[in-house]
Amino acid sequence: DVKVTQSSRYLVKRTGEKVFLECVQDMDHENMFWYRQDPGLGLRLIYFSYDVKMKEKGDIPEGYSVSREKKERFSLILESASTNQTSMYLCGSGLAGVSYEQYFGPGTRLTVT
Amino acid sequence: DQQVKQNSPSLSVQEGRISILNCDYTNSMFDYFLWYKKYPAEGPTFLISISSIKDKNEDGRFTVFLNKSAKHLSLHIVPSQPGDSAVYFCAATDNYGQNFVFGPGTRLSVLP
C-alpha cells in the first residue's frame, strides 16, 4: 500500500513564525503536491514538484515556498506565518505518465494565532 | 474564477438508491478527470477517473460519465450505502498530470 505521511496532524503557531510542514512518500513517486483545503473552496494547489529540486507554482503560491532535496520528501515552508494561512494542508504524491491518481497524507491542521 | 465547479454543496440519498454527483469545468485544456472521496480527519482517497477520450468508465458500484461538449461529468453510485457518506471532490488535470484543479466538494449523506 502507498503510504504518504505528514509530520504533524495538528500544529499551532504564532503570527510571524517560520513553519515547516514535511511530507514523505514511500512509493518512489516522481510527482508530489501541496494543497490547502478550506471550507467551500475544496483543495487548492500551492506547489508541485515533478522531480528532485524541481518545483512549479500552483494556484496560490504566495506566502509559501517548497523544498525537494530527496525524491521521497517534499517540504512546505511558510516563511512568516499569517492568520490567513490557518487551514488544512494536504500532501499528495503520484506517478508520472502512468495514471494521474494521487495518494494523500492525512493532512495537517495548522492554526496561526 | 473556479475552473471546476460542484454546484451542490450537499446531497442526501436513501440507502439502496442511486446517488448522482455533478461536476462542471470551464477549461477545455483539461484532459483527465478524477473523483476523490474524503472522510473527516483523513486525506482524500482516489475513487475513479476518466480520460477525455472516453465518455464512461465503470468500477463496481461507481460509474463516471463525461460529456465533453457540455464540459460536464457526473459520478453515479449504485446502490448507495451508508459507508458512502463522505465529501466527494471532482478534480481535473491536463495531459501532463501535474497541475490539478479540484472542485469545492459535495457532501453526500446516505440515510439508512
pLDDT, one tens digit for every residue, chain A (113 residues): 768 999 999 999 999 999 999 999 998 999 999 999 998 888 999 999 999 999 999 999 999 999 999 999 999 999 999 999 999 999 999 877 666 888 999 999 999 99
- Residue B96 is predicted with a pLDDT of 77
Q: Which residues of A touch B25 (CB under 8 A)?
A: none
The alpha carbon of residue B33 is apart from the nearest alpha carbon of chain A, in Å, by 9
- Residue A40 is predicted with a pLDDT of 84
The alpha carbon of residue A93 is apart from the nearest alpha carbon of chain B, in Å, by 10
B36-92, pLDDT tens digit by residue?
Answer: 999 988 999 999 999 999 999 999 999 999 999 999 999 999 999 999 999 999 999
- Residue A98 is predicted with a pLDDT of 60
- Residue A97 is predicted with a pLDDT of 67
Number of CB atoms found within 10 A of residue A107's CB: 23
Cell of A75: 517540504
Strand partners, A46: none
Is there a contact between B97 and A100 if contact means CB atoms under 8 Å apart? yes
Q: Which pairing describes strands A19-25 and A4-6: parallel, antiparallel, or unpaired? A: antiparallel
Alpha carbon distances (Å) from A27 to A30, A70, A72, B25 = 9, 13, 8, 31
Q: Which residues of A touch B45 (CB under 8 A)?
A: 104
* Beta-carbon contacts of residue B48 (< 8 Å; ≥ 6 apart): B34, B35, B57, B59, B62, B63, B64, B75
Q: Which residues of A touch B6 (CB under 8 A)?
A: 42
